[in-house]
Structure 1
């Protein structure tokens, strides 16, 4: 007797849809966590007025503009300046003293979304006197998010939260020193932006592009399945220099991953790890 439960129609439709995205548009969501994908696709179906994933797939294959809009649902764009201030305080107090020993610094913000974390890092490095000898690679798979990030323009209504986070992160100056305001928008100083390279990069399909001293990839891997998490961690391990640092999200952990022995806890409560080098 066969006890294997056959996949549901929804499961089959979802698998076919992400395969279509991969083969037609070369974006790989095949190893993203299924529960998260289902939620996002449900929201997308409502937006496009589709009654099924098959209907959405039909439109996707015939209307290129549909994919551009769908990408906004498939990529997470929830961010904030100095989000989780304790993380940046730990970087400032525990990691920066060691980063000072390098003549030049390269930092990778993986999954940078609309750029808030990249600017947070640039401000922190400026305050610690390290920005001029640093290069920040800020990468994402969403071209619209990258364009917004590179512009460095944000809603002025967010400034009170940005300012409070900056202060709690151990900020050494006024946040207003780093942006100018006009009407209901703020724009970050071009001197911050000149040390940031915004670029398209997929943790699912692309390779390592540089050796770095710090990788910050926060609240990204929670949307991956175990296999894709392992691939991302492979990339981070390969990219990091000897005894380099890795920061992940507060809801993420390496404890049960295939790379549990590749990184040692450095600041446990803020999810900062240090690369363990082989003999």
Structure 2
């Protein structure tokens, strides 16, 4: 069953074959000041502190605002939010519509930002997906091997290698050549499944795990091992003309390893 909060239009729970696919912290709470730790937070109309580094709150107001529900069912939701400031801090009239759809083994999250104002508006967006894994240090992440990335920990541009080593803070922004990701795969042998992501409208893919030393205070003890964030993002600032729209979409498919699963407990 799909669970989406009105606050943040935030998908917090979804399972396949009785196992959670989205991670949520055991300490997660949601309020006007606190975003739910886990699920799929919506970062908009800016990411982090915005292109100029001066915007507050972090990751924009979308994460903690109450959205207007337009459609709510066990498999699909649509929410709407009006925002009066763009990623440059200028007055704006932005309409945000978020849609989440679950079908069998696939979850689709979509965010559309439309400039309803009378002037050009600057926007950023990200679908900050927390994926449940058995142990982040034991997974394999494929699909970004040929993308350059900015390492926010080391504060430098890097050439991607064949693997990503988790176990300490990982915070990387991968540039997607030509836009969008062909396919990003999180292979988790212990959970006998692969999580496959495809993005539309994305210019970047963000990969994040806090590790044991940078865990936020709303994450339970040792829970850093149980997730990896792989998110569709449009960062750096997209200029929307009057009436223009940015659409960001993430498709998550769960592929079960039936051979592994059949060898498990009866």
Pairwise TM-score range, normalised by the shorter structure: under 0.3
TM-score, normalising length from structure 2? 0.24
TM-score, normalising length from structure 1? 0.23
Higher-Rg structure is 1
Structure showing greater relative contact order (alpha-carbon pairs closer than 8 Å, 6 or more residues apart): 2
Which of the pair is proportionally richer in helix? 1
